[in-house]
Amino acid sequence: MGHPFPIREIARQAGLSEATVDRVLNGRGGVRESTAREVHRAIADLDRQRTQVRLVGRTFMVDIVMQAPERFTSAIRAALEAELPSLHPAVLRSRFHFRETGPVGELVRTLDRIARRGSQGVILKAPDVPEVTAAVGRLEAAGIPVVTLVTDLPASARLAYVGIDDRAAGATAAYLMGQWLGERPGNILTSLSSGFFRNEEEREMGFRSAMRARHPERTLVEIAEGQGLDATQYDLVRAALERDPDIRAVYSIGGGNIATLKAFDDLGRECAVFVAHDLDHDNTRLLRAHRLSAVLHHDLRQDVREACHTVMRAHGALPPAGPSLPSAIQVVTPYNLPPQATAV
């Protein structure tokens, strides 16, 4: 395939040897199909980061490792690549390691490969489990700073966490839910993608605590482990609705909102209030169609910029700064969509 990049740059982007990249580009065989895909993906990443490749300055190669639905990782990729030019004169290049779900062992192996290969930093969204905490410790021991993004690993050796105060976000959702439901009867469905993500657990605790204090008469019905994926989410929501005819509202902590609404529609049920998180493509469309009441959002570009700055500070490229404050929580309704969202 034609491209303007030296083999050395492609190899660095892909985390492979130059010989392997050369075999793929020249069709010499002896390379796994998955490896060939990594080479072509690296070229695509370089093409998107072309401006950064041409800049002259101190270069930082950062690995972005995330377990999340594709709609969210796409938003992260777009936010990061939009921020890259603002980091000039430093040059930040990124390698992406995204997966929607899978055994935790695969995620740990990815982190261990990065520790062996080397990196200037890792920006990580991962379940809060002992195996991942241990892998972060190995990265730190290898001199690779780790910044957790969106969801934290507080018991790990990570350098910093960048994201919102999730308990405050959950309490905000409870406040909105109580105001909008008013005196109408009905139970509330709370939906988590997984109980192993610290941010979702914190949101659920904030929501439950505020509802208990302000609206103790409301029953909360919890579902989990849909992984934010539409196929599994639909089945979980439909089963919950069939079991409980009094569910009238949803607090979606982990996503899969198209599937959730489809389950309501297929059973002829009304969802009177629906509060969700993150202004991704799906939620933007649903909000614009008035299928969601509100989305609790935070500026992903600001978050990834702060994560990158934290990595750069770890290498002495920026002056020290105090602990980063939690990201601002924005309440977005169909009537105050930001300009970039209305263009989606």
**Of 160, 235, 157, 139, nearest to 191 (Cα)?**
235
pLDDT tens, position by position, 304-327? 999 999 999 999 888 888 888 899
- pLDDT for res 3: 66
> Helix or strand or coil: residue 331?
strand
Contacts of 318 (CB under 8 A, 6+ apart): 309, 312
pLDDT tens, position by position, 41-67? 888 877 766 654 444 457 888 999 999
Backbone angles phi and psi of 325, in degrees to 5: -80, 155
Residue 276: pLDDT band by 50, 70, 90 thresholds?
very high
Domain range summary for the chain, segments of one domain joined by +: 7-55, 59-163+300-325, 166-297
- pLDDT for res 57: 58
Cα distance between residue 282 and residue 287, in whole Å: 9
Mean pLDDT, the chain, whole residue set = 90
Residue 208: pLDDT band by 50, 70, 90 thresholds?
very high
Contacts of 329 (CB under 8 A, 6+ apart): 164, 165, 168, 169, 172, 296, 297, 298
User: Same fold for the domain at 7-55 and the one at 166-297?
Assistant: no
Considering the domain 59-163+300-325 in this protein, what is its CATH number? 3.40.50.2300
> Helix or strand or coil: residue 64?
strand
- pLDDT for res 44: 81
229-to-64, 153, 217, 254 alpha-carbon distances in Å: 21, 23, 31, 9
Contacts of 134 (CB under 8 A, 6+ apart): 108
pTM of the prediction? 0.80
Residue 2: pLDDT band by 50, 70, 90 thresholds?
low
Residue 342: pLDDT band by 50, 70, 90 thresholds?
very low
**Of 116, 52, 43, 115, nearest to 85 (Cα)?**
52
Instruction: Classify domain 166-297 at the CATH topology level.
Output: Rossmann fold (3.40.50)
Mean pLDDT, to the nearest integer, of 319-336?
91
- pLDDT for res 135: 98
> Helix or strand or coil: residue 123?
strand
Q: Residue 273 pLDDT more than 70?
A: yes
Residue 344: pLDDT band by 50, 70, 90 thresholds?
very low
- pLDDT for res 343: 42
- pLDDT for res 176: 98
**Of 241, 200, 251, 208, nearest to 69 (Cα)?**
200
Residue type at 14? A
279, 297 Cβ separation under 8 angstroms: yes
- pLDDT for res 41: 81
pLDDT tens, position by position, 17-28? 888 888 888 888
| CATH number 2.60.40 given to 7-55 | no
